[in-house]
Every structure is written in C-alpha cells, then in structure tokens.
Amino acid sequence: MSVRRGAALAPDTFRNPHMRHAADTVPAEVLGLPVLTLEGITKSFPGVKALSEVALELYPGQVTALVGENGAGKSTIVKVLTGIYQPDAGTIRLDGLPVTFPTARAATEAGITAIHQETVLFDELTVAENIFIGHAPRTRWGLIDWPELRRRAVEILDRIDARLDPMMPLKELGIANKHLVAIARALSIDARVVVMDEPTAALSQKEIEELYDLVERLKAEGRAILFISHKFDEIFRIADRFTVFRDGALAGSGLMSDVSESELVRMMVGRSVDHIFPARDKAPGREVLRVEGLSHPTEFDDLSFTLCEGEILGFYGLIGSGRSELMQAIFGITRASSGTVSLDGAALNIRAPADAIAAGIVYVPEDRGKQGAVIGLPIFQNITLPSLDQTSRQGFLKLAREFALARTYVERLELRAASLDQDVGNLSGGNQQKVVIAKWLATKPRVIILDEPTKGIDIGSKAAVHAFMAELAAEGLAVIMVSSEIPEIVGMSDRVIVMREGLMAAKVKGDDLTPEVLVRHAAGIAGASG
C-alpha cells in the first residue's frame, strides 16, 4: 500500500522551470496537478490547537474525501480555505501560486465554494434569486435583469437535472431541493473547487443517489471536490483520494484504490475498530409506554404501538415518512389531532415538552445543532441543566457533583473537549451532538426518544454510543430510536416499526429483522414479508 503520510506538495514543485512554464500556460486539469494546495496550515483557538501544520491537495476532476474523528479539524480547514478563518501559519496555493483569502468573498471570487448543510439561503426569495444572490445579471441601468436571471437559472438547474421552478419561493422547497439550490449556486459562480460538508446527512436514499450522480457530473466538468463524510460506504464509492486528520494533524493521504477500510479507520482513530453491536440478552420488562391511534392532521395517521422497559424500539422509514413528526407529537412539540399516549397505564396530557419531561419522556432531536446545545454555556452546565434536581441541594448547586455527573456521560460518549468548562459553541459539530445526548440521558428518564442518534458522530465514537445505549436499556431505560442507518437499526433494535407516508407499514422482529425486509416495507415494494 502506498499511503503517503504528510503528502504536501513540496513548495519547490512549482519552481521547477519546466513545470512552472507548463503551469503558466496549461490548465491544471491537463497536467494532473492539484488546483488547490494547503501546506503547513496551523490554526489555534484559545486553549486548542485545531490544526497543526496540516496539508491538503485538491485535484481537478477528482473527489478528495476528508475524514477524521469528531473534533479532528475538518470544519476548521474548510473555514480556512473558504476565507472564514485566517490560518496562523501556512500557505494556500491556487494553481501553484500563493494566495490568501482574507474574506469569504475573496475565496468565492477565486472559485472556491462550500455547500454546507446550513448554506445560507433565503426563504423569502425565489429559487433563481437564491442561485444568483450577490451576482445577479443586471441591465444597463443596474437593475436586476429578470428574464436573463430566469434563463440562466433554468440553464443551471437543467445541468443538474433539478426540475424546479426558478420563480418558486425557496420556502416551499424541502430540504433535498434546497440542497440542489445550494449546488446550483455553487455552479453559478463557476466554482473550481467545491466543498461538500456531510452533504448526504439529511437526504433520503434516492436523493443520495442523485447527489452522487451530481458529483460525477462535477468531476466530469473538471471541478475539484472536497467531500467530508463520516459514512465509509459513500467515501469508498465516490472518492478518488483521501486525506485523514487526527487531533488536528495530518494522519495520512493517498489514493482510495490503495487503502482498505480498516486502514483508513486506523489512521483516523489510531486503533482498529471492530464495530460489533453490543449483545443484548436481557428480555424487555413490563410495558411503559402505550401509544394508541395517534394522528396528526397532515403528517401521520392512526399509529399504535407499545414500548417496554429495557427495550430498544427502532423506527425505520424514508425521510418524510413521518417518523420525526410522530416523535415530536409524543414529546409535545406539535399537537396530535387524536389518539392517546399513556405511561404506566395512565393517559398523559402532553401539551408542551415540559409536560413530557416531567412525565419522564425525553426527545433528542435529529437537528441537535439548532434545538439542542445552549451556546455560550460550558459543557458541564449544558449537560446538567435539565437535571438540576440531581445536583442542587437546598438551592445550592454543588459544582463538584455537576462536574461528576457531566464527566460520566462525557467519558461514556467519548466526547472530545479541552475541558468540561469549554463553551459548547466552540466544540466541533459531532461533539456538540454528544453533549445534547448526554444532557438528556443525565435526566435519567423512563423513556428516551433518540432521533438519528449517531448522525454526524464519527466511526470510533459510534460504537461507544451504541454500547452506552445498550447498557442503559439493560438498566431498564425504554428507548425509541429513529434511524435511517440500516446497520444501526438492525444491530440495535429488539423490534422495528417501519413507517411509510405517515402510516405504519410494518412491525418487524426476530428473524424477519433483515435489511431487505426493512427496505421493502419502507419503499412499499410489493411482496414485502414480515
């Protein structure tokens, strides 16, 4: 295997008189040289060295996967190369020539664009306006040239096969289509480098396939793609090259064709990870939760199920099948139109999340970034916030107890942070998610609803999260787990409910609990059994 460690392009490469001549006149794609090179990039924050002399090369017409554990520095390097952060040291080269990106605009103008999950789009504007925001075609009089704007928007949307009306307000689109708008916007500025940060995390399987097609098209157009993902199957499917960061340093880089999955994991985590799902031999206990005939005016209809102590009940279904909406209704975020939710045989009247929490039901949402962590508060307070009755005595907060409580959960979930009093806002995305899971587990609920519990969580910590879940279930916690990851659903659940278009498509357990059965029910393919 020829994995090149620390494979920065030697600074002298471009000083070679022959190459320099060629690079000046021949486009990089013809020479197979990197279009963008980062060398010796270092970036520190108070108390944290997020990046330490890392290197990254992006090649035209190729996908480079950037992998690393939560907090390894992936988002930080993206912010450096898109002009959001200034590196403390190091060089960025575009076509071999040193450049700086003092602002995000400078990076955009140099042809570097990032498609984040949270790419800033404007709900009130139309699709076409969103695509061309900041660089809309204008008339001689400086006004927006609407017919031209529309024509160009159609052209770009056609190129990515997005059948969207350019004049439609963005707010009417679902998440996948908004993503397409973000991609169209990247194309509209004729980006040479496209950064995709966990682009498939919120997409359904069909949409993921469409995104892969799109990546192929971007490659064929000669664009260099940086693809950040925690999903190994997709990295192996679409990437040509890889770069691994570990603890802010370069752990390796090379060609995908030269590396195996376990080698990549070892570079990432520093050890091999055999993800075997925890054995769960304890039989579920008595019934805790009973949901009967729960309906919502638009999202789901007539859903009934029970959940026992110590049980992990999986909810599988395509995005949009109503799983999260059902959980939000049980937790009191939205109101069901009919049906009942009972705990220990007594019907609950849940009007708001506070009622559910008081009853011992908590919900960890999928969108933990927006709905979960309290930015500005340290980690330990985020974790202990909803459990103050465990840590305060006679009104005094016992700091030591708070720390101890937080530490237990932090360690079990493999949260990486400089210290427990670090501001949650400064944690990496995946580590913020662990804080939110910890915070709800620390309340010691009767029932916990985990929506996509390992989304955005790295491959090393996933096993830790699963082991902890299994242990808590063995202690009697009743768990509902919504997940789109088949291995997780099959590996962790005692029973699975498959939802399709707001209805219960199937209840599956035992030998029927196989990936094929789940996929067939979720897709409504005739002949599904189980």
Ligand X SMILES: Nc1ncnc2c1ncn2[C@@H]1O[C@H](COP(=O)(O)OP(=O)(O)OP(=O)(O)O)[C@@H](O)[C@H]1O
Q: Which residues bind ligand X (CB under 6 A)?
A: 45, 48, 50, 68, 70-76, 426-431, 458
DSSP state of 282: S
524: left (phi over 0), alpha (psi -120 to 50) or beta: left
The Cα–Cα gap between 456 and 201 comes to 7
Amino acid type, 372: G
Q: Which is nearer to ligand X, 368 or 521 (CB)?
A: 368
Q: Which is nearer to ligand X, 148 or 423 (CB)?
A: 423
Selection from 70, 48, 66 nearest residue 58 by Cα? 66
Minimum separation from the CB atom of position 228 to ligand X (A): 7
The C-alpha torsion from 383 through 384 and 385 to 391, rounded to 10°, is 180
Minimum separation from the CB atom of position 245 to ligand X (A): 7
Q: What per-residue string of b and e applies to 66-81 under the rule 16 or more CB within 10 Å gives b? A: bbbbbbbbbbbbbbbb
DSSP state of 476: T
Q: Which is nearer to ligand X, 324 or 426 (CB)?
A: 426
Minimum separation from the CB atom of position 271 to ligand X (A): 18
Supply the DSSP string of 104-160, one letter for each residue: HHHHHHTTEEEE-TT----TTSBHHHHHTTTS--B-TTSSB-HHHHHHHHHHHHHHT
Q: Which is nearer to ligand X, 246 or 446 (CB)?
A: 246
Q: Which residues pair with 149 in a beta bridge?
A: none
Q: Which is nearer to ligand X, 251 or 348 (CB)?
A: 251
Q: Which is nearer to ligand X, 72 or 329 (CB)?
A: 72
Minimum separation from the CB atom of position 247 to ligand X (A): 9
CA–CA distances in Å: residue 231 to residues 196, 487, 508? 13, 12, 26
**Sequence-separated (6 or more) residues with CB below 8 Å from residue 207:** 176, 179, 200, 319
Minimum separation from the CB atom of position 71 to ligand X (A): 4
Q: Which is nearer to ligand X, 67 or 156 (CB)?
A: 67
Minimum separation from the CB atom of position 455 to ligand X (A): 11
Minimum separation from the CB atom of position 421 to ligand X (A): 13
Minimum separation from the CB atom of position 78 to ligand X (A): 8
* Strand ranges for 171-281 from DSSP E: 193-197, 224-228, 241-246, 249-255
- Rounded to 5°, angle at Cα 103 from 32 and 95: 15
Minimum separation from the CB atom of position 518 to ligand X (A): 27
The Cα–Cα gap between 519 and 516 comes to 5
Q: Which is nearer to ligand X, 60 or 73 (CB)?
A: 73
Minimum separation from the CB atom of position 243 to ligand X (A): 12
Q: Which is nearer to ligand X, 16 or 103 (CB)?
A: 103
Q: Which is nearer to ligand X, 417 or 518 (CB)?
A: 417
Residue 293 in tokens: 């005939």
Minimum separation from the CB atom of position 428 to ligand X (A): 3
Q: Which is nearer to ligand X, 299 or 458 (CB)?
A: 458
**Sequence-separated (6 or more) residues with CB below 8 Å from residue 514:** 490
The Cα–Cα gap between 104 and 115 comes to 13
Selection from 112, 113, 7 nearest residue 56 by Cα? 7
Q: Which is nearer to ligand X, 391 or 431 (CB)?
A: 431
Q: What are φ and ψ of residue 476, in 5° steps?
A: 115, -5
CA 88 to chain CA centroid, Å, is: 28
Minimum separation from the CB atom of position 416 to ligand X (A): 6
* Strand ranges for 160-285 from DSSP E: 193-197, 224-228, 241-246, 249-255
